[in-house]
């Protein structure tokens, strides 16, 4: 059974308690969002996700999208849910108030995103892609484009897409062939074929605004000759109501492993009218604006699915009675004990739980940096926040989604044979989560981005924006009695990370393949240290709260803090040891992989 | 694209070269199976799997099985393939010649099984379950039952099932409710409902022989009151041709994540006539005979899927051009390089490859023990072989299938976005492989079987049957120059395994939950050491062959041995380090899991 209630207490913890000393300020620039307001938003979002989106998750998977006579339809109930979603203003949550958005801090918005993804990942794609599109237009479009297009997109009346991939090129966009020819009126004729376009066509919004990568006639070869165009499905009339069709058609939808409620489209642009977004031949920069936003969001998608998988598995582990506890019957009055009594079942549940809480804590930190980057009055803070988000974007994307697939698979394992049956709902999490490791840049590409670009960039300042807080925390926490084992474990893993960083920097300078060979393990190692840091901080805060009494006196708070410390302990004892395996793998270098000739595979 | 050609050279290596000194003898008791004959069998099986079974794999997944008007139909082509399969004698391969079988050694048979599972896992279930059934009848049935039923089943004319699970009980069979009431003629009336019955009904064979766990009227409660019955779909006439229906109906088939070409049935037995197999109330023993055979086979299923996933990924990595090698263009004349040039893609491919070769080598060792157990003239060898297979059965089942899921997921990752599309065929491997971690006892149950039963059984002789060869090999290999790093790594991992064994034995004695908390990590650790031992042995043999020239002078042999050493090196540098993480997790004990109250989840 798919079970989901937003983990509101933990969300408030990572939002209000965990990162207050991170130097990015107090919800920077967002002072009007006090605790009452953020609590209200979280609670309302939780209700919407549970009552409206969750019930459509499995039916959406069973029914899927259809493509008949050129029309793409989403599963039953999606249109109605989308209307309620936009009417309630959820689509406009994080967007600029100048264009009708509600200007919510990312620190809050990402928590709402997580809930939406937990409840219905397929649904989340429709508003999610729109948000990516508005970010690109806002960042790179002319004032005219912004004034015209953003309000309709931000309200959700019109939705958006990112049209990058073509059949022969995904990762290597330099090979793309879609063409854009200038017209006299300043617009362009866009012609070409795109594949894997999420939300490329559907029946939720009255118009769809495609952001399309294409080449101008005189463009240089490769990635330096790519420009970004805004191409609507229907041309707008003068009053920006929906006008005639614009040569944009969905030629097919993909049959996929999962995410079946989200229409993944093959799109054809046939002399479609479009407008340049940003400078000619600078499309990759604009695309990366969109992409970086999306990459963090894809990480959140993973976390969302991981949380739903965890909750569904906990429900089953308490419900399913089978066998007896190894230490003797726990419920002698029943025919058998619930399977949650077993250490190995708990190992699986707590692995998911630790992954989710670790990712949520890390994502809250990154979200605060996203806000600081935009809103902090202090240029030094803005720069540090930018460096930190640059470093963490690939980590959030790849780490969270790798762990989501692990979590979803663990949930199926908790269900046993019943988990393999579609009606249980948990195998859907495995199929849905799987795409998150791939789209918006495969996780291998994220790892290369981390070691190849982000690690060494800005004279190492990106890395220091993360290393400094960690080493400071370790130093100041030494000698604090009950936390010593945690601090020692964190220090050891952090030492392995520092050593690996030095090794990769040194070897990778001379031979980029050495960096490539270390990339995936390095990303995991860094992610483990980051989660470990968050858990250690959380333990410290929780310990103080238990000792001195809860700051806000909320009922049940002591129980929350005690459980937080237990989860952190599990993380340090059972998850962090993975760091050693990554460290040893990194140290071994590229040799064992590159020794193979192609024929030997 | 689903690509599969049986890895014949590696199969011959593990069959003829790797384990000759394991003390189980030279294909014990099976001297007539010389290299010419085994080569011929392997080649013919490879052809059958590639030409007949592989082409039905994806179509079978798309079409699935159907259940209409009480009739279960397998996907198009399955019936024809099954007819060819039985006509060619593949169904009878490993069965007793006394009843029409071909009496092939398991060492050979398991390789053929692997091929069938690589080509079409769904198809493999139909003959696979029959084989499990014949094993139980042969081991526990009366002479009359054997003489009557085995020939039809072994030929494949009639197929078999194992009917264990009921809606409320899977792992805990003590709770089952199906009843068997004695009739005057010595037969029984069997009544009850079973779920998750693989091959429970279908259109491949003219009759289906169900082996059903049920309770006699006066049976004691729990697992001590379970008996095993043979219940046919149709009653046989006197001449053992197919007679009238026997109250056995398939009431529904399951909608599953994968394995869609295999009908998973809900079965209803309504006063169906059956015969007792073995003693009353001793059904669990008979069931375990069947189950242990099946558990090794499920491990092989995982290996089969892992190999197909690897080959399909290699094909794509060579075919897909995208971007350039990090060290500069490898194919400057093309628009881009194939993605196999990238270290991270190779990391994924070689991880799969190392898993597959490691599992194949280990499975060949276990298969030889299965043969020795049956055929060795030396009672001491028979006993040692039995102890070794008892120990390794849960390891083969759980380790191979966990790694299969990892491999299948890696294959999807190599394909990127295309891997998520059903047409690519690789996401099917993820969905198909997933069940192998669950059925015939979840992998958590396997781990408990290992630490709770197998580890301490026979005064530790089970464990010694594995530990002795490993420690002897380490001792005798010390000081052999080029292999030193491998031997040291193996020694270290083996040391961690020994230490963990002692810890679990000691702590688990006082508190079985401590053993339960360590179980999964212990199984992985033992599996890694076992694969490492096989790889180190393989390296030694390969090194000698390269140095002294190939023993059998086969063309391409030097290349094979060189590649084997490279794969082994990759295993030691990149995979074996996982052992440290497992070791640390085991050492941390149960505390962090059992500290949680049920409410805290």
Give the tens place of pLDDT for each residue, B555-579. Answer: 678 999 999 999 999 999 999 999 9
Average pLDDT, chain B: 94
Average pLDDT score over residue span B144-161: 96
Q: How confident is the model at residue A125 (pLDDT cuts 50, 70, 90)?
A: very high
pLDDT of residue B123: 98
Secondary element (H or E) of residue A180: strand A179-182
The tens digit of pLDDT for each residue in B451-489 reads 999 998 888 999 999 999 999 999 999 986 889 999 999
Secondary element (H or E) of residue B573: none
Is the pLDDT at B171 greater than 90? The verdict is: no
A510 touches chain B (CB under 8 A): no
B312 three-state secondary structure: helix
pLDDT of residue B462: 94
Q: Do B405 and A405 touch (CB under 8 A)?
A: no
pLDDT of residue B564: 97
The β-bridge partners of A274 are A188
Contacts of A577 in chain B (CB under 8 A): 580-581, 583-585
Is the pLDDT at B227 greater than 60? The verdict is: yes
Q: How confident is the model at residue A27 (pLDDT cuts 50, 70, 90)?
A: low
Residues 235-264 of A with CB under 8 A from B: 254-258
Residues 396-455 of A with CB under 8 A from B: 405, 409, 412-413, 416-417, 419-423, 427, 430-431, 434-435, 437-439, 442-444, 447-448
- One of A440, A475, A513, A600 is an active-site residue; which one? A440
pLDDT of residue A171: 79
Taking alpha carbons only, the member of B255, B256, B251 closest to residue B266 is B251
Of residues B345, B591, B593, nearest to A347 (C-beta)? B593
pLDDT of residue B194: 96
The answer to whether A333 is a known catalytic residue is: no
Secondary element (H or E) of residue B315: helix B283-319
Residue of B169, B344, B357 for testing the chain A interface, max A β-carbons within 10 Å: B344
Residue of A122, A164, A417, A520 for testing the chain B interface, max B β-carbons within 10 Å: A417
On whether the CB atoms of residues B263 and B65 are closer than 8 A, the answer is yes
Residue of B253, B339, B415, B420 for testing the chain A interface, max A β-carbons within 10 Å: B420
A80 touches chain B (CB under 8 A): no
The tens digit of pLDDT for each residue in B340-374 reads 999 999 999 999 999 999 999 999 999 999 999 98
Q: How confident is the model at residue A550 (pLDDT cuts 50, 70, 90)?
A: low
Q: How confident is the model at residue A434 (pLDDT cuts 50, 70, 90)?
A: very high
Q: Do B427 and A585 touch (CB under 8 A)?
A: no
Residues 519-578 of B with CB under 8 A from A: 519-520, 559, 563, 566, 569-570, 573-574, 577-578
pLDDT of residue A554: 61
Alpha-carbon A94 to chain mean position: 15
pLDDT of residue A553: 58
> What is the separation, in whole angstroms, between the first and last Cα of chain A?
42
Average pLDDT score over residue span A431-454: 96
Compare all CA atoms of chain A with the CA of B345 and give the residue at the minimum distance. A444
What sign has the CA pseudo-torsion A167, A168, A173, A174?
Answer: negative
Q: How confident is the model at residue B554 (pLDDT cuts 50, 70, 90)?
A: low
Contacts of A401 in chain B (CB under 8 A): none
Residue of A346, A496, A564 for testing the chain B interface, max B β-carbons within 10 Å: A346
Give the closest-approach CA distance of B427 to chain A in angstroms: 6
Of residues A171, A257, A353, nearest to B323 (C-beta)? A171
Q: Give the span between the Cα atoms of B107 and B366, in whole angstroms.
A: 8
Q: Specify the DSSP class assigned to residue A452.
A: I
Compare all CA atoms of chain B with the CA of A576 and give the residue at the minimum distance. B581
B532 three-state secondary structure: helix
Of residues B327, B511, B588, nearest to A573 (C-beta)? B588
Compare all CA atoms of chain A with the CA of B337 and give the residue at the minimum distance. A172
Q: Do A326 and B515 touch (CB under 8 A)?
A: yes
Contacts of A266 in chain B (CB under 8 A): none
What percent of chain B has pLDDT above 90?
A: 86
Taking alpha carbons only, the member of A325, A329, A290 closest to residue A131 is A290
pLDDT of residue A320: 93
Is the pLDDT at A401 greater than 90? The verdict is: yes
SS3 content of chain B, % helix, strand, coil (to 5): 60, 10, 25
pLDDT of residue B27: 62
Is the pLDDT at A469 greater than 90? The verdict is: yes
Of residues A169, A336, A595, nearest to B175 (C-beta)? A336
Contacts of A438 in chain B (CB under 8 A): 412-413, 416-417, 419-420
Give the closest-approach CA distance of B518 to chain A in angstroms: 8
Taking alpha carbons only, the member of B171, B408, B443, B153 closest to residue B298 is B443
Q: Do B172 and A559 touch (CB under 8 A)?
A: no
Q: Which residues contact A331 (CB under 8 A, 6 or more apart)?
A: A321, A337, A338
The β-bridge partners of B148 are none
> What is the separation, in whole angstroms, between the first and last Cα of chain B?
42
Q: Do B257 and A196 touch (CB under 8 A)?
A: no
Residues 274-313 of B with CB under 8 A from A: none
- Min mean pLDDT across A316-325, A582-591, B525-534, B541-550 is at B541-550
Give the closest-approach CA distance of A296 to chain B in angstroms: 18
pLDDT of residue B34: 87
Average pLDDT score over residue span B264-289: 93
pLDDT of residue B550: 57
On whether the CB atoms of residues A396 and A363 are closer than 8 A, the answer is yes
Is the pLDDT at B553 greater than 60? The verdict is: no
pLDDT of residue B551: 55
On whether the CB atoms of residues B225 and B177 are closer than 8 A, the answer is no
Is the pLDDT at A552 greater than 60? The verdict is: no
Q: Give the span between the Cα atoms of A196 and A219, in whole angstroms.
A: 25
Is the pLDDT at B29 greater than 70? The verdict is: no
Kindly report the backbone phi and psi dihedral angles of residue B37, in degrees, each rounded to the nearest multiple of 5, phi listed first: -70, -45
- One of B113, B114, B386, B440 is an active-site residue; which one? B440
CA atoms within 13 A on the CB side of A448: 17
A584 touches chain B (CB under 8 A): yes
The tens digit of pLDDT for each residue in B486-532 reads 999 999 999 999 999 999 999 988 999 999 999 999 999 999 999 99
Q: Give the span between the Cα atoms of A2 and A49, in whole angstroms.
A: 13
- Min mean pLDDT across A341-355, A435-449, A551-565, B125-139 is at A551-565
Antiparallel, parallel or unpaired: β B207-214 and B158-163: parallel
Give the closest-approach CA distance of A396 to chain B in angstroms: 18
Give the closest-approach CA distance of B37 to chain A in angstroms: 28
Q: How far is CA A258 from CA A129, B264, B424, in A?
A: 18, 21, 14
Contacts of B486 in chain A (CB under 8 A): none
More confident residue, B120 or A286: B120
Q: How far is CA A381 from CA A369, A374, B365, in A?
A: 9, 10, 61
Q: How confident is the model at residue B8 (pLDDT cuts 50, 70, 90)?
A: very high
A331 touches chain B (CB under 8 A): no
Average pLDDT, chain A: 94
The tens digit of pLDDT for each residue in A262-276 reads 999 999 999 999 999
């Amino acid at each position: 059974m798919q079970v989901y209630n937003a983990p509101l207490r933990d969300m408030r913890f990572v939002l209000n308690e965990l990162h207050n000393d991170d130097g990015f300020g107090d919800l920077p620039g967002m002072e009007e969002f006090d605790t009452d307001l953020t609590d209200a938003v979280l609670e309302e979002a939780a209700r919407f996700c549970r009552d409206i989106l969750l019930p459509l998750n499995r039916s959406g998977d069973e029914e899927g999208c259809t493509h008949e006579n050129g029309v793409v339809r989403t599963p039953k109930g999606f249109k109605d849910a989308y209307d309620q979603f936009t009417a309630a203003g959820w689509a406009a949550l994080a967007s600029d108030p100048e264009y009708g958005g509600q200007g919510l801090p990312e620190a809050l918005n990402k928590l709402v995103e997580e809930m939406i993804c937990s409840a219905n990942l397929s649904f989340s794609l429709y508003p999610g892609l729109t948000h990516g599109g508005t970010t690109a237009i806002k960042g790179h479009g002319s004032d005219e484009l912004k004034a015209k297009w953003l309000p309709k997109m931000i309200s959700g009346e019109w939705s958006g897409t990112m049209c990058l991939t073509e059949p022969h090129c995904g990762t290597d966009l330099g090979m793309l062939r879609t063409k854009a020819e200038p017209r006299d009126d300043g617009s362009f004729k866009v012609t070409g074929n795109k594949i894997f376009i999420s939300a490329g066509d559907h029946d939720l919004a009255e118009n769809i605004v495609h952001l399309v990568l294409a080449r101008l006639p005189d463009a240089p070869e490769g990635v330096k000759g790519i420009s970004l165009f805004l191409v609507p499905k229907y041309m707008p009339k003068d009053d920006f109501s929906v006008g005639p069709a614009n040569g944009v058609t969905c030629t097919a939808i993909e049959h996929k492993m999962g995410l079946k409620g989200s229409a993944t489209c093959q799109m054809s642009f046939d002399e479609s009218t479009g407008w340049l977004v940003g400078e000619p031949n600078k499309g990759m920069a604009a695309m990366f604006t969109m992409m970086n936003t999306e990459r963090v969001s894809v990480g959140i998608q993973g976390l969302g699915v991981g949380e739903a998988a965890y909750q569904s598995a906990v429900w089953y582990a308490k419900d399913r009675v089978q066998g007896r506890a190894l230490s003797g019957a726990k419920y002698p009055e029943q025919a058998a004990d619930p399977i949650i009594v077993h250490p190995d079942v708990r190992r699986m549940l707590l692995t998911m739980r630790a992954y989710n809480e670790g990712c949520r804590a890390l994502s809250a930190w990154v979200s605060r940096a996203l806000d600081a980057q935009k809103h902090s009055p202090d240029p030094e803070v803005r720069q540090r926040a930018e460096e930190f988000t640059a470093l963490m974007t690939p980590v959030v994307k790849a780490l969270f989604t790798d762990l989501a697939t692990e979590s979803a698979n663990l949930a199926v394992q908790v269900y046993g044979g019943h988990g393999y049956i579609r009606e249980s709902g948990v195998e859907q999490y495995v199929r849905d989560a799987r795409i998150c490791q791939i789209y918006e840049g495969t996780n291998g590409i994220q790892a290369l981005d981390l070691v190849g670009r982000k690690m060494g960039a800005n004279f190492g300042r990106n890395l220091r924006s993360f290393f400094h807080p960690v080493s400071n925390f370790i130093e100041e926490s030494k000698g604090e009695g009950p936390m010593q084992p945690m601090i020692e474990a964190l220090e050891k893993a952090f030492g392995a990370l520092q050593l690996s960083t030095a090794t990769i920097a040194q070897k990778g300078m001379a031979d980029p393949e050495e960096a490539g060979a270390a990339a995936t393990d390095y990303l995991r190692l860094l992610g483990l240290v980051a989660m470990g840091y968050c858990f250690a901080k959380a333990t410290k805060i929780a310990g103080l709260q238990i000792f001195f009494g809860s700051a806000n006196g909320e009922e049940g708070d002591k129980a929350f803090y005690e459980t937080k410390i237990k989860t952190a302990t599990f993380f340090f004892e059972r998850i962090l040891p993975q760091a050693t395996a990554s460290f040893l793998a990194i140290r071994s270098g590229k040799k064992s992989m590159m020794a193979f000739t192609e024929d030997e595979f």
